[in-house]
Chains A and B, each alone.
Chain A
Amino acid sequence: MTTLFAVLFYAATAVLVFGLAYKVTQYTRTPAPLKIPTMPAPLTKTGVAFRLAREVGLFESLFKSNKWLWIFAVAFHLGLLLVVLRHLRYFIEPVWTVVALIQPFGIYGGLAMLGGLVALLLRRLIVARVRYITAPSDILMLLLLIGIGVSGMAMKGAVHTDVIAVKAFFLGLMRFDIQPLPNDPVLFVHLGLVALLMIVFPFSKLLHAPGVFFSPTRNQVDDARDRRHLAPWAAQFEAGK
């Protein structure tokens, strides 16, 4: 099992890193030929940085749209953030003070994350408009995340696992020195699902994470009258006539 998971995590990391690198390169290389920020838009780059920060940190547009959806989404994402930060202790030694400090809150993060996910799933099934646009993969994605959350919470609350050994395993992985993973079915489920999530990331709607930074309606400065904006292919077209 230890070897299997070691291989799995190396593979998942490779897929995640190279997959994301590929997509981000693709987004970077594809030009945005026209100025299309959703107005009113900031007039400066700093303004755009703030707009993106509000979008990523506060889900500004979602807030304008639908307060319930906003609450569910914030609960899930903020919960996930806390949980991820809490998990950093498995990958760093010595553990940073911030990471140590938030340990007690991780558990609330886990609860918020699961609550948000379940609410999102119910919404998807109950609201006819949302059900209409739902593909099986949208439900599976939620179930995958719920599975990760439930298995993780189970280890925290009920079937404890040897966290010292888990940490040794991951630190070992990072040094290419494989250490034994505790023989624990719930842990296997948890880690297996996490690896699956990493693998599907670059091929799925999880691309919204990098995508938001590349969205021209959100990341462009409103300066079309002051600065001429010309994409390379448009310049070529212009020169060709």
Chain B
Amino acid sequence: MADFEVPVLNDIPKTPELAPGASAHLKPFVAAPAHQEALGFPGELVEDWHDKAIAKMGDLLGKYRSLQVYMDACVKCGACTDKCHYFLGTGDPKNMPVARQDLFRSVYRKHFTLGGKLFPQLVGAKDLTREMLDDWYSYFHQCSQCRRCSVFCPYGIDTAEVSMAAREVMDHIGLGQKYCNEIIGKVHKIGNNLGLPEPALADTLEGLAEDVKDETGHDVLFPLDVEGADVLLVTPSADFFAEPHVDGLIGYAKVFHQAGVSWTLSSKASEAANFAMFIGSYENMVRVARRIREAAIELKVKRIIFGECGHAWRVAYSFLNTLAGPWDFLDPRYPRPQHILEFTHDLIKRGGIKLDKSGNQGMVLTFHDSCNVARASRMGDMPGGQFGIPREVIAACVPKFVDMHPDTIGEKTFCCGGGGGLLTDDLMEIRVKGAQPRAEALKAVVEQEGVTHMAAICAICKSQFTKVLPKYGFEMDMIVSVHQLVSKAILLGNND
């Protein structure tokens, strides 16, 4: 990893000066042939990549209305130009959402529009040269598909859709990203992102049960592959071992235990993540999503609940019905699928679990809205439930809760900087720089409100923050899982 300067945190957020090319050198490792072929893509850059790429663009333009409309509708108003955390952290103009889209759009104009064919210079039409392809590879891997830009665009143009399309085109000509494609291969083969096989998983879960027993004296179960359980819990595999994720998993288990609901994990669907979304591959998304359906049917569960994960909840909430539905074999009285926070929130409201804030004594919490939960999904039955429900659960568990600046939360939340398939060491520089806006907002509440911890509900956010926030001078254990707070506050045993 090359050395780079960590951005300064300003007291008042500043829009950077343009620094052309500042992050052109940032590209992730290219996928090896084995990673590519496992997903049905050519192993390496094909000979006639230009023509193949253009053909794939045409294919996608015909399949995705979003892409087709977004290619035409942009008026270059600039409303999105200062909204992307990667632009704010690097100053590289190609990280402005519209400029990122233009990498794709200029090729679209060249090959798919009359104006671009007749007057390329006039309308900014360009061919897909090797340099352009390099730019695609760099800058479409500097987009975390967080959709912040789409909130501010008068036509809702969503750069995430363009990034996904561009990655799909690149995969089809043999230029894939190692991190994502290797992981998707593992899910296909073993069932989770880590390549953690069933015996190892069973072992881990057993260990967790022992830990909880030692700590609390209660027999909280961590069941695996239990046929006939009521609930199938699908959670990101980071929850099995990473900090602070695992403390969240312990929290889910305690909630189920206390609610008296039988539940199980599945070794087949031991992963909530669906990285196929990041590479825009519908086919791979379906394949990954189907595992969950199969596991639910085999285990004869009545409900499916998802653990704390951002993009996984997007796929679950918004896409699962499409990719692997219909879910009519599940109990119709519950949302299909449901989020663990919806479950816990409901229990708190009904008094089904009791919480004692002193379990989290001395903590002042703030909450990082994960981009995919905030802008691409919902919780509860009202729009915006994805903002209120986590906050209400946190507030019920801790002595004090404070929000960060309104321009940095809710629908305007900043990405952690590591989403969209960027959570890899070979992209550390862009991850650190992209975290700058969030770090800035966090610093303000730490200094002014005495915030001690920031809760998150996404495996990627948690991993990203524990790694990059120390670069900005924060403690790494300042990041907590929401269910970690629940875990510390929940009263186990008979409370009546």
> Given A133-B78, A203-B114, A212–B154 Cβ distance below 8 Å?
yes
* CB proximity of A192 to chain B, nearest CB, Å: 19
**A208 / chain B contacts, CB cutoff of 8 Å:** 72-75, 154-155
**A237 / chain B contacts, CB cutoff of 8 Å:** 282-283, 286
B384 contacts chain A at the CB level, 8 A cutoff: yes
Contact with B along A165-203 (1 / 0, CB 8 A): 000000000000000000000000000000000001001
Query: Which of B122, B161, B319, B383 contacts A222 (CB under 8 A)?
Result: B383
Instruction: Choose, from A3-11, A61-69, A96-104, A107-115, the stretch at the interface.
Output: A61-69
Query: Which of A43, A62, A129, A231 contacts B383 (CB under 8 A)?
Result: A43
Chain A 107-131 interface residues, beta-carbon cutoff 8 Å to B: 123-124, 127-130
**Contact (Cβ within 8 A) A30 B62:** yes
Among residues of B, the one whose C-beta sits closest to the C-beta of A205 is B75
**Contact (Cβ within 8 A) A33 B77:** no
Instruction: Choose, from A81-89, A136-144, A153-161, the stretch at the interface.
Output: A136-144
**Contact (Cβ within 8 A) B18 A39:** no
Chain B 308-326 interface residues, beta-carbon cutoff 8 Å to A: 317-319, 321-322, 325-326
**Contact (Cβ within 8 A) A203 B115:** yes
* CB proximity of A196 to chain B, nearest CB, Å: 13
A230 contacts chain B at the CB level, 8 A cutoff: yes
CA–CA, A222 and B83, complex, Å: 24
Give the bracket for the number of chain A residues in contact with chain B: 35 or more
**Contact (Cβ within 8 A) B66 A216:** yes
**A38 / chain B contacts, CB cutoff of 8 Å:** 147, 150-151, 156, 158, 375-376, 411
A79 contacts chain B at the CB level, 8 A cutoff: no
B55 contacts chain A at the CB level, 8 A cutoff: no
A-B contacts counted at CB < 8 A amount to 209
CA–CA, A127 and B337, complex, Å: 46
Chain B 147-173 interface residues, beta-carbon cutoff 8 Å to A: 147, 150-158, 161
Query: Which of B17, B72, B78 contacts A130 (CB under 8 A)?
Result: B78
**Contact (Cβ within 8 A) A134 B76:** yes
Query: Which of A26, A30, A123, A211 contacts B64 (CB under 8 A)?
Result: A30
B113 contacts chain A at the CB level, 8 A cutoff: yes
Among residues of B, the one whose C-beta sits closest to the C-beta of A135 is B124
Interface centre among B68, B69, B76, B155 (most CB of A within 10 A): B69
> Given A39-B411, A222-B383, A237-B286, A217–B83 Cβ distance below 8 Å?
no
**B115 / chain A contacts, CB cutoff of 8 Å:** 137, 200, 203-204
A59 contacts chain B at the CB level, 8 A cutoff: yes
> Given A27-B68, A61-B154, A237-B283, A40–B383 Cβ distance below 8 Å?
yes
Query: Which of B15, B114, B121, B386 contacts A39 (CB under 8 A)?
Result: B386
B336 contacts chain A at the CB level, 8 A cutoff: yes
**B74 / chain A contacts, CB cutoff of 8 Å:** 205, 208
> Given A38-B156, A234-B282, A132–B72 Cβ distance below 8 Å?
no
B460 contacts chain A at the CB level, 8 A cutoff: no
Query: Which of A39, A42, A73, A212 contacts B77 (CB under 8 A)?
Result: A73
CA–CA, A179 and B319, complex, Å: 59
> Given A31-B65, A38-B375, A40-B383, A65–B152 Cβ distance below 8 Å?
yes
Query: Which of B123, B158, B383 contacts A137 (CB under 8 A)?
Result: B123
**Contact (Cβ within 8 A) B69 A211:** yes
CA–CA, A238 and B282, complex, Å: 11
B397 contacts chain A at the CB level, 8 A cutoff: no
**Contact (Cβ within 8 A) A140 B150:** no
* CB proximity of B479 to chain A, nearest CB, Å: 24
**Contact (Cβ within 8 A) A238 B286:** yes
**A41 / chain B contacts, CB cutoff of 8 Å:** 378, 383
Q: Can you spell out 8 A-B residue pairs with CB atoms less than 8 angstroms apart?
A: A38-B147, A65-B154, A135-B122, A208-B72, A212-B73, A212-B154, A228-B326, A238-B286
Q: A residues bordering B, Cβ < 8 Å?
A: 23, 26-27, 30-36, 38-43, 55, 59, 61-62, 64-66, 69, 73, 123-124, 127-130, 132-138, 140, 200, 203-205, 207-208, 211-212, 214-218, 222, 224-225, 227-231, 233-234, 237-238
